[in-house]
Amino acid sequence: MSLHAFARSVALTALLVVAPKAAFAETASQPWPISIRNQIDRIGNVEYRLRKSAANLCSDSSTLTGIKLDYIDAYATGDQQVVREYAGLGDAPQIISVATGSPAESAGVQVGDDILSVNGVSFSQLHTESDDSALLADQIEERLAATPEGRDVTLVLERNGRPFTVSFQGETACVTRFILKTGKGLTAYSDGNNVALSANLVDFAQNADELAVFAGHELAHVVARDGKARGLRQRRAMEDRADIFGADLMRCAGFDVDRGIAIWQRYNKRDWLRWLRGPSHRNVPERIRRIEAHVESVPMTCPPEVPPLAD
């Protein structure tokens, strides 16, 4: 299944629906519902900054608010009680992440706010119109993203039992969405439309700069419209370009590339099968060297230009 199909089949915050306790590690200090929310929040903040940095480069754009949502129907029935207990999720869609510096944050939106209405459409109507309530959080995010440029996003929210209204203008950004992926391994990939980051990778990244290294690389593939390569040589050229272009997107988003590539060094040490990997990617030390050389020698220009594909 492609990532695009995968993104349509499960809500962004509902990737834990299928056997969440098997897909996400639970520690004594942090139950799995809290772990998932923290992972989504980390992805959301990196996504907000990178999509803004690529806003003028994508063929398709959408309205960016900085909001991530959750909804109780996204969870298996047997898991809903523990989610309510640990995450405080009620019967309404709830805001679980507000990106730092985003329009939503500036408007006063907070994590834990329940959504009663979106752009004049009530939650009850949204629920009735949904063909799958497990995907309702994702559908509301898509509705927010579809707000026409220049038009206010208007939300009726509830906080501590009191309803209130906020209105703000979102920002135009690259339409690509970042998705949390369950399963094993430290993986990141894209399908030409969206970017997927594994839960294990999010946990492995020690800071936002490290997470942005992988996310920026995959977003670079999307922006450059890297499709199916004609052969191994072209595939490696695409990967080389994504390393460099991803670093440029990171710089324009305010990330520290030098700090971020430390994740590659740790990744390389734990990858015991690195010598058996396919030749489509250079070895990790060479990738680090090329990124460092590019950052040192090429002045930052924002928005960055898509580098030409090497012959």
- The residues near 77 (Cβ < 8 Å, ≥ 6 apart) are none
Q: Is the dihedral of CA 31, 37, 43, 49 positive or negative?
A: negative
Q: How confident is the model at residue 7 (pLDDT cuts 50, 70, 90)?
A: very low
Q: What is the mean pLDDT of residues 13-38?
A: 60
pLDDT over threshold 70, residue 22: no
CA-only gyration radius of the chain, Å: 20
Predicted model pTM: 0.86
Q: Higher confidence at residue 31 or residue 100? A: 100
Report how far residue 78's alpha carbon sits from residue 82's, in angstroms, rounded to the nearest whole number. Answer: 8
pLDDT over threshold 80, residue 8: no
Percentage of residues in the chain having pLDDT higher than 70: 88
Specify whether the CB–CB gap between 116 and 156 falls below 8 A. Answer: yes
Residues in the chain: 311
- Lowest mean pLDDT of 17-21, 203-207, 243-247, 267-271, name the range: 17-21
Burial (Cβ within 10 Å: 0-12, 13-18, ≥19) of residue 311? exposed
- The residues near 177 (Cβ < 8 Å, ≥ 6 apart) are 7, 12, 47, 194, 195
Q: How confident is the model at residue 274 (pLDDT cuts 50, 70, 90)?
A: low
Q: What is the pLDDT of residue 112?
A: 97
pLDDT over threshold 90, residue 283: no
As given in the structure block, the two tokens for residue 293 are 């050389």
Q: How high does pLDDT run on average in the chain?
A: 87
pLDDT over threshold 60, residue 83: yes
76-71-5 Cα angle (round to 5): 75
Specify whether the CB–CB gap between 24 and 13 falls below 8 A. Answer: no
Q: What is the mean pLDDT of residues 67-91?
A: 94
Q: What 3-state class would DSSP assign to 143? A: helix
Q: What is the mean pLDDT of residues 238-247?
A: 95
Q: Which helix (H) or strand (E) holds 273?
A: none
**In the chain, where the domains are located:** 3-174, 205-297
Specify whether the CB–CB gap between 140 and 124 falls below 8 A. Answer: no
Specify whether the CB–CB gap between 156 and 174 falls below 8 A. Answer: no
The alpha carbon of 227 is separated from its chain's Cα centroid by a whole number of angstroms, namely 21
Report how far residue 294's alpha carbon sits from residue 78's, in angstroms, rounded to the nearest whole number. Answer: 51
pLDDT tens, position by position, 163-187: 999 999 999 999 999 999 987 788 9
Q: Quote the DSSP letter at residue 298.
A: S
pLDDT over threshold 80, residue 153: yes
Q: What is the pLDDT of residue 231?
A: 81
Q: What is the pLDDT of residue 20?
A: 46
Q: What is the mean pLDDT of residues 226-239?
A: 84
Strands 121-122 and 114-118: antiparallel
Residue type, 5: A
Specify whether the CB–CB gap between 182 and 24 falls below 8 A. Answer: yes
pLDDT tens, position by position, 94-144: 999 999 999 999 999 999 999 999 999 999 999 999 999 999 999 999 999
Percentage of residues in the chain having pLDDT higher than 90: 72
pLDDT tens, position by position, 62-74: 999 999 999 999 9
CATH homologous superfamily of domain 3-174? PDZ domain (2.30.42.10)
Q: Which residue has the tokens 């590539």?
A: 261
pLDDT over threshold 70, residue 203: yes
- Lowest mean pLDDT of 22-26, 120-124, 271-275, 291-295, name the range: 22-26
Q: Is the dihedral of CA 147, 7, 83, 46 positive or negative?
A: negative
